[in-house]
Homo-oligomer: A and B are copies of this chain.
Amino acid sequence: MKTAGSIPAFLVFSYFCSSNKKQTMAQKPSIPKGTRDFSPVEMARRNYIFDTVKEIFQRYGFQPIETPAMENLSTLMGKYGEEGDKLLFKILNSGDFISKVDEQELQERNSIRLTNKISEKGLRYDLTVPFARFVVQHRNDISFPFKRYQIQPVWRADRPQKGRYREFYQCDVDIVGSNSLLNELELVQIINDVFNQLRINTVVKINNRKILAGIAETIGESDRIIDITVAIDKLDKIGLEKVNLELLEKGVSQEAVDKLQPILKLSGSNAEKLDQIEAVIGASAVGKKGVDEMRTLFAYLSGFELNAEVELDLTLARGLNYYTGAIFEVKAKDVQIGSICGGGRYDDLTGIFGMPDVSGVGISFGADRIYDVMTQLELFPEEAVASTKVLFVNFGEKEEAYCLPILAKLRASKVNAEIYPEPAKMKKQMTWADRKQVASVVMVGEEEIAQGKVTLKNMKTGDQQSVTPEELIKILSE
């Protein structure tokens, strides 16, 4: 609210001293590195993406929540590793914060320890930890299974670089409190529907953390599961021989590497791959469970015609220790770019906040990368840039008086319409309409008034037609 209490003081100042101000107070405006302003055209395109994902999330029964930008640092710290703690934006306590720091602490000049004394809040780093906090805090009001989506910005004090920002939006969709693999099916369907609607061709790569654990167990190297996965992850880039070498270097036994070969050479359909994996790791209980889970999921998926390719990909590691079941990653087929969506199943999201054993599965859409893909492939449809449908050119008082009631009727018919606010030169008004990508303009001069008509001009074709106000409304509200 623009209440009295919130009036920018410089405006008070400028009103009374408008002669001094300009020399003394003008500053060149800029925004913090790694942050962005969004123009109307960018907003229209971003909203096209957000509206699409929202609509589809809701079609699957997911409901929105929001959490505050600021969380207590006790909620955030220690949740993203040491590096993550450093990348949190921390908020300075209000008031005389330094008075709470004792002399010795001040002398130590240790920024990290000092932070604990002068800052209690931070900006959220992702939507996962706030969601875990939300679930536990509101556990008595939530009916589980809880299906929520959340589309909000997050902040990271990362080094800004091309395509990496310090403020960016995440679009997360999760279901917690259900172990059913039906949830995995529906997330793949959501991925398919979203990218189908956005007209992006995709490959959905799927893996299962239990299969990876089963592999490590089978070859007798359970402790080296991370090394093994990191090596497997490089198969595409460095080839089989070098992967084997790396495994041996990491201390994996020759025998184990030999056992691993059939898995590294997997081929065929997803079902065939699962058969081959089972032949190797079937004796491992966790491995067998992973294979069964994937069989169920692929069986579910076989019932539907999807536009996306779905592929079992054992080289997919993706937060290995985070996830405990299925893992997903989505790649755009026609653009070289990192994954545009990803996620998986996790077993104990809320344990840290005192609510153990709540399994969940979720995916996160990367709005910025999707935006980049769509820009590169020119996939944004016209309705994602179009703004006002019609502009009334302003020729002066008399014409204005004739136009305003017609304009009001158009708006009452839910047509986005406007009038240029001043009788500026025709060329200026037409340039303005052009830059705003207005589809058509209405022109009214003496002749039109005399005939009780308006002239409607299509801005693209240049076609003009003389119509009554009623006809105008009919044409434009179609």
Contacts and interface: CB of A to CB of B under 8 A. Distances in A.
A61 B29 contact: no
A70 B189 contact: no
A322 interface: yes
A89 to B, nearest CB: 5
Contact of A74 (B27, B66, B110, B346): B27
A183 B418 CA distance: 11
A322 B7 contact: yes
Contacts of A106: 106, 109
Nearest to A401: B303
Contact of A98 (B28, B111, B170): B111
B90 A92 contact: yes
A18 B319 contact: no
Contacts of A381: none
A268 interface: no
Contacts of A111: 95-99
A69 B137 contact: no
A346 B74 CA distance: 43
Given A32-B72, A69-B69, A421-B180, A405 B348 contact: no
Contacts of A125: 6
Nearest to A355: B26
Interface string A347-371: 1110111101000001110100100
A47 B71 contact: no
Interface in A100-159: 106, 109-111, 114-115, 118-121, 123, 125-126, 128-129, 133-134, 136-138, 141, 143, 145, 147-148, 153, 155, 157
Contact of A418 (B14, B61, B64, B123): B61
A109 B60 CA distance: 56
Given A7-B80, A31-B75, 9 more contacts: A1-B338, A1-B339, A3-B318, A9-B84, A27-B354, A37-B67, A69-B123, A69-B155, A89-B91
Nearest to A413: B59
Q: What 3 A-B pairs have minimum CB-CB distances, sorted nearest first? A: A61-B418, A35-B68, A40-B63
